[in-house]
Amino acid sequence: MGRFLRPDLFLESVYAIDPEKLRRRGIRGLVFDLDMTLVEWMEQRPSPRLAGWLGNLSGQGFRMCILSNNSHQRVRSFAAAVGVPAISWAGKPLARSYRRAMRLMGTTPATTAAVGDQVFTDVWGGNRLHLFTILVLPLGRRQSPHTRFLRHLERWVLRGVEVRHS
């Protein structure tokens, strides 16, 4: 079980992702969690920095998909604002949602990275399909009670895993 809960890479934020290093690993598609990964929990609009960063990734040939357990309305409105396809009510860590995201992007497990802030959804879901998994520190402090509980368990799982700052 421990192997499935350990990320391949643990970074400070999505902005620390190095597109060139991903390209060298053969990664062509990125499946992003939404809340606390791309924006703070329930933030309705992307920042100009995030929109520019996602646009830069797209311009470099990366395919992207937002994969969230949040509602259709929440996820679709945000995805439309950044021009990235999205899947809501994803049921992460279930494999079906990751497979659907890869079909949308035209990628395979070997060419896809899963990026998120939670071990028990984002990392576990990506690792189950042998995607390259990137865990980022959560944005902001506001979070659901469910997530707050899981954060305690995550600290135990992540003992000895160091955050890289770039």
Decide: residue 13, CB within 10 A, 0-12 exposed, 13-18 middle, 19+ buried. middle
C-alpha neighbours within 13 Å on the C-beta side of residue 133: 24
What are the structural domain ranges in the chain?
A: 2-157
Q: What is the pLDDT of residue 1?
A: 47
Packing angle, helices 72-82 and 48-59, rounded to 10:
70
pLDDT on residue 79: 94
The per-residue pLDDT string of the chain (166 residues; one tens digit each, 9 = 90 and over) reads: 467 788 999 999 999 999 999 999 999 999 999 998 999 877 778 999 999 999 999 999 999 999 999 988 889 999 999 999 999 999 999 999 999 999 999 999 999 999 999 998 999 999 999 999 999 999 876 666 656 556 556 665 666 555 555 4
Determine the Cα–Cα distance for residues 122 and 21; give it in Å rounded to an integer: 20
| Percentages (nearest 5) of helix, strand, coil residues in the chain | 45, 15, 40
What gap in Å lies between CA 3 and CA 113, rounded to an integer?
16
Q: Write down the CATH superfamily of domain 2-157.
A: HAD superfamily/HAD-like (3.40.50.1000)
* 60 touches 72 (CB < 8 A): no
